Structure 1
Amino acid sequence: MPWRKPYDPLLSLAERAQRAYEVWVSEIMLQQTQVATVVPYYTRWMEKFPTIHELATANIEEVNALWKGLGYYSRASRLLAGAQKAVAEYNGMLPDNAKEMEACIPGIGRYSAGAICSIAYEPIKAPAAPIAETDTSADSTLSCPEVTQYPGDINQALIELGSTVCKVRDPTCKTCPIRPWCKAYEIAEFGRKPITDIEDVCALCEPPPETGVTGYPMKVARKKPREELDIVNVVEWHSAAKPQERWFLMVRRPEGGLLAGLYEFPTSGNVARTTSRAAQVKMPHALVSELVVPSMSIAPYDAKNRRKPSHDVIEIASIQPVRDVVHIFSHIKKTYRPQWVVLQGGGDAPPALKSARGNPSTSDSIDEGLSSTSLRPILNNMWIQLKEVPNVNMGTGVVKVWNSTKELWEGGVGGS
């Protein structure tokens, strides 16, 4: 693992700060993600942003491009925000104590702060206070002898133990080096058949399930994710003169919140599940009208009375339903209901779009030559050529929507 290095007490403060940055990136990437998946992402990240100063000068587009495919994109935006704050307020060095790091750096919680500080900075004594055996809260820690040197090595060893021996499923207790001191193993092996006084037997309650060592630590019951329905409009435009040049409309999400800074197709979010097909067909007109400059007229979709495309009028030529796509976030079960919307008219170039402030964008389309995210301007609304859509920074759910929509025309379903 490229982020693993032996602790060196001779490192200078600046070198320890660099080490803290490296550990921080690895800790955030490893959240909810397997080591094998993280290694190539970590390597590319450190090649692009070898120091916290270089990360702080990046934009969200560059960061999301490197993170693409790793999921949980808020982690990437918080790394960027944390680096910018560390450079602005701490001279580019993460705080060297866990309490301050947790309180002051965005996206770093108690666990990550403790791991980073113990691995990169000065040793910290473990508290000697006894802990109740039944305590399963976040305040519980492993009771161990006082350690005065290299707590990071111990923490990394415990992490390694958890990933290779004391696993969530199928732990290999027989080879565990701390088995003689493991309370969970003791209970599982020797506490299965307690001798109970017949007068103490309760006839009302069922006995607790025997889960063995995997029953510890006891997990807090997770709240069921709420369900939401989004109507996603995959809007395509092509001119009558060059129908082979296909452009797709994409909008950028806000800097904060779910999927911050990523692109998506124009979407009506969290609509009622009772929304009819007739109501869905009316949505693209309002959404596109909000994005196109006022000088351009948008004709509503009318399947019976088709207009002839002109330079002044854009017509919604067709709307094709796409199969539902389900994507589960940590707290939301999202159902995307896409529809493929084809526009015609408006001239030989894609219709001009409004910028963030409602004015025409100076550059609202992305050419093939600007495939690199470092060369692209950051636009809130833009037209993307068909070949370039897969290169856009978008979440996994939106990628699923795109792939489902492509199946329509690849399967011979016409859009006009």
Structure 2
Amino acid sequence: MAKRKKEVSEESDFEAYNDGSDSDASYSAKTRKKPARTQVAKPTKRRRGTPAEERSVTTTANPHSRGTHVMQSSDKVRTALLGWYQLVHETRGMPWRKAFNPQRSRAERAQRAYEVWVSEIMLQQTQVATVIPYYNRWMEKFPAIADLHTPNDSSDPAKAAANIDEVNALWKGLGYYSRASRLLAGAQKVVKELGGLLPDNAKDMESKIPGIGRYSAGAICSIAYGEKVPVLDGNVHRLLSRFLMLHSNPKSKATLDTLWTAAEAMVDVKGFYEDTDYQNPGDINQALIELGSTVCKVQNPSCGTCPLKDLCGAYQKSSFATQHSQDIQDIEDLCSVCEPLPTGSFDVTLLPMKAEKKKSREETDIVNVVEWRRSIDSEERWFLLVKRPEKGLLAGLDEFPTMSNVSDPDSKRHSAEGPVEVLSSVLASPVRRSSLAAKTDEECVESSDSDVRISQVKRVGDVLHIFSHVRKTYRSQWVLLEGGCSPPPVSTKSSERMSRNKTTKGKQKKAESTDVTPVSGEARWVSIDQVDHANISTGMAKVWALAQSL
């Protein structure tokens, strides 16, 4: 399968093919249907509303039948589509693409479902070329879903269960680490509760497997099991919007219902496996996604080479300057979904209609690159890492001790207040800033943990990292601890989060920004040469690279 819709990436180093957000998340969302637009006879202007809407965009009425957006001649469309797909399906060398074989046993089909599932999860927000080596390494490590389960007998090292650290290590650099944890949790549930076989229908797949939405369920079950279920990812959304000349809010319920209905018509094939002209639903869905990702692109689509151009409403309008209007015999047949088109020459890239994007919120984290040495001239150097919670953003990854979303980051930039506060919850014994010279290595034998001091706090710099919903600035500083014979022991207390609340007029209100100290029970020291091998996110890797340059 090809890559899913683009959202500004959690690990933004990987460019996506197309616009929008993950199909399983956004296309299943329920949105309020806009009231139908009144038919007008002359150019008008958008209503005033958001700042983007307040830019006067001249539009024109475009009355047409709602039947325009119904998939017509689906047999002819499928034949042209599959003929093209047979020529190109091996071009990009995707190892998860295999011919559908109706003679496979139930277990063999379930194995195919696992392979497709892994590829689908990896392809969310990520290019095919990036995914291929990750997929190959994953399947080499976990060739079957049973290899991800939690065994009853954990005493046998050969049967040791996969854990989040092991999974994240394989996922490192791929981004969107929550995908890995959902894949692990889903696989373990399948083995424990479903006999080790993924469901053979999209309804059960979506309802029983965590992290699988309508799109993924349709893709897996159509490809692995030959079930006649549709898909609607970003590529198919764009392709069908243009094919059906649908210019409407891309996230509205009316738009999504229209597109899902068209996608369902595409896989509503007749015949049985023994028929020579049988059209496999999995191939149809893969062909739609492939066509959307490689031909019907967001910008500069290759309309001239598209196998569906003769039937595509947008291509016909752009090529022959048709007005795309009809004599409406019945006012009830008038389309109430589409928005007026912009005036001027028509181009297929006007479809689908662009959705207003929410502005990402701004946050600043204080990242403390904490180093311990016996003395300033010691060659033995250790760095403190903290494991993030198993749920939420960057779940289960390692990071340097971080104070998240601080309300006043400038006040802590050049002071020891922040590091002291962080380390007090991470280390077993408190540390403080000291101007005294640290003891030499020769005196180490007589020292204790209480001899450890913060000898230096030095600004490293800022690193901007873009997540799907937030622009995160990592304001990093190097914190040097000296003294003692070995790195100070970490706390064994349970995980804690420290929050600050503001009091307004006698009432406790949650602060807009919360300073969060890392969980103390998950901290550990690693040597300097092991930091690069830890499961740190791309953002933290940028911080580490900047710190090393000092």
Q: Normalising by the residue count of structure 1, what TM-score does the alignment of the two structures yield?
A: 0.83
Q: Matched residue of 1:323: which SS? A: strand
Q: Matched residue of 1:261: which SS? A: coil
**Distance in 1 of aligned mates of 2:229 and 2:371:** 61
Q: Matched residue of 1:85: which SS? A: helix
Q: CA deviation at 1:242?
A: 7.6
Residues 246-395 of structure 1 mapped to structure 2, 5 A cutoff: 246-273=381-408, 275-277=410-412, 280-293=415-428, 296-299=429-432, 301-302=433-434, 305-306=435-436, 308-309=438-439, 310-311=447-448, 312-345=450-483, 347-355=484-492, 357=494, 380-395=522-537
Q: Is the 8 A contact 1:241 1:348 kept in 2?
A: no
Q: Matched residue of 2:529: which SS? A: helix
Residues 28-39 of structure 1 mapped to structure 2, 5 A cutoff: 28-39=121-132
Match of 2:184 in 1: 80
Does residue 181 of structure 1 match 2:290? no
**Match of 2:385, as an amino acid?**
M
Q: Matched residue of 1:50: which SS? A: coil
Residues 141-220 of structure 1 mapped to structure 2, 5 A cutoff: 141=260, 142=262, 143-144=265-266, 146-148=268-270, 149-191=279-321, 207-208=342-343, 212-220=347-355
**Distance in 1 of aligned mates of 2:348 and 2:544:** 44
Q: Is the 8 A contact 1:355 1:381 kept in 2?
A: no
**Match of 1:390, as an amino acid?**
D
Q: CA deviation at 1:105?
A: 1.1
**Match of 1:113, as an amino acid?**
A
Q: CA deviation at 1:13?
A: 0.7
**Match of 1:181, as an amino acid?**
L
Distance 1:352 1:278, change over 3 A: same
The Cα offsets for residues 77-102 of structure 1, whole Å up to 9 and x where unpaired, read as 11111111111221112222212212
The Cα offsets for residues 106-156 of structure 1, whole Å up to 9 and x where unpaired, read as 1111111110010011431679xxx99456433313344731341001111
Q: Matched residue of 1:256: which SS? A: coil
Of 96, 105, 110, the match for 2:214: 110
Q: Is the 8 A contact 1:307 1:315 kept in 2?
A: no
Seq. identity, %: 55
Q: CA deviation at 1:240?
A: 3.1
Match of 1:234 in 2: 369
The Cα offsets for residues 268-324 of structure 1, whole Å up to 9 and x where unpaired, read as 10012464246753110111121111xx3412x25xx33544423210000000110
The Cα offsets for residues 56-91 of structure 1, whole Å up to 9 and x where unpaired, read as 331000100000011111111111111111112211
Distance 1:182 1:246, change over 3 A: same
**Match of 1:116, as an amino acid?**
I
**Match of 2:349, as an amino acid?**
T
**Distance in 1 of aligned mates of 2:370 and 2:346:** 52
Q: CA deviation at 1:330?
A: 0.6
Q: Is the 8 A contact 1:125 1:147 kept in 2?
A: no
Q: Matched residue of 2:416: which SS? A: helix
Q: CA deviation at 1:44?
A: 0.2
4+ residue segments displaced more than 6 Å: 192-195
**Distance in 2 of aligned mates of 1:45 and 1:273:** 42
Q: Is the 8 A contact 1:248 1:385 kept in 2?
A: yes
**Match of 1:355, as an amino acid?**
T
Does residue 61 of structure 1 match 2:203? no
Match of 1:44 in 2: 137
Q: CA deviation at 1:258?
A: 0.1
Q: Is the 8 A contact 1:356 1:380 kept in 2?
A: no
Distance 1:208 1:391, change over 3 A: farther
Q: Matched residue of 1:171: which SS? A: coil
Equivalences, count: 371
Give ranges in structure 1 of 5+ residues lacking alignment: 196-204, 359-378, 409-416
User: Which segment drifts farther, 66-75 or 214-223?
Assistant: 214-223
Q: Matched residue of 1:250: which SS? A: strand
**Distance in 1 of aligned mates of 2:229 and 2:423:** 60
**Distance in 1 of aligned mates of 2:376 and 2:462:** 33
Does residue 21 of structure 1 match 2:114? yes
Q: Matched residue of 2:472: which SS? A: strand
The Cα offsets for residues 142-172 of structure 1, whole Å up to 9 and x where unpaired, read as 3447313410011111122122211222111
Distance 1:125 1:32, change over 3 A: closer
Does residue 138 of structure 1 match 2:256? yes
Q: CA deviation at 1:45?
A: 0.3
Match of 1:93 in 2: 197
Of 56, 79, 99, the match for 1:6: 99
Give ranges in structure 2 of 5+ residues lacking alignment: 1-93, 150-160, 232-243, 271-278, 326-339, 440-446, 496-520
Match of 2:12 in 1: none
**Match of 1:66, as an amino acid?**
L
- Give the number of the structure with larger relative contact order, counting CA–CA contacts within 8 Å between residues 6 or more apart: 2
**Match of 2:455, as an amino acid?**
A
**Distance in 2 of aligned mates of 1:343 and 1:354:** 16
**Match of 1:147, as an amino acid?**
V
Q: CA deviation at 1:50?
A: 0.4
Aligned-CA RMSD value: 2.6
Q: Is the 8 A contact 2:385 2:526 kept in 1?
A: yes
**Match of 2:476, as an amino acid?**
P
**Distance in 2 of aligned mates of 1:356 and 1:162:** 52
**Match of 2:138, as an amino acid?**
W
**Distance in 2 of aligned mates of 1:42 and 1:27:** 10
**Distance in 1 of aligned mates of 2:415 and 2:223:** 54
Q: Is the 8 A contact 1:291 1:354 kept in 2?
A: yes
**Distance in 2 of aligned mates of 1:125 and 1:84:** 25
Distance 1:120 1:80, change over 3 A: same
Distance 1:9 1:231, change over 3 A: same
**Distance in 2 of aligned mates of 1:236 and 1:224:** 37
Q: Matched residue of 1:349: which SS? A: coil
Q: Matched residue of 1:138: which SS? A: helix
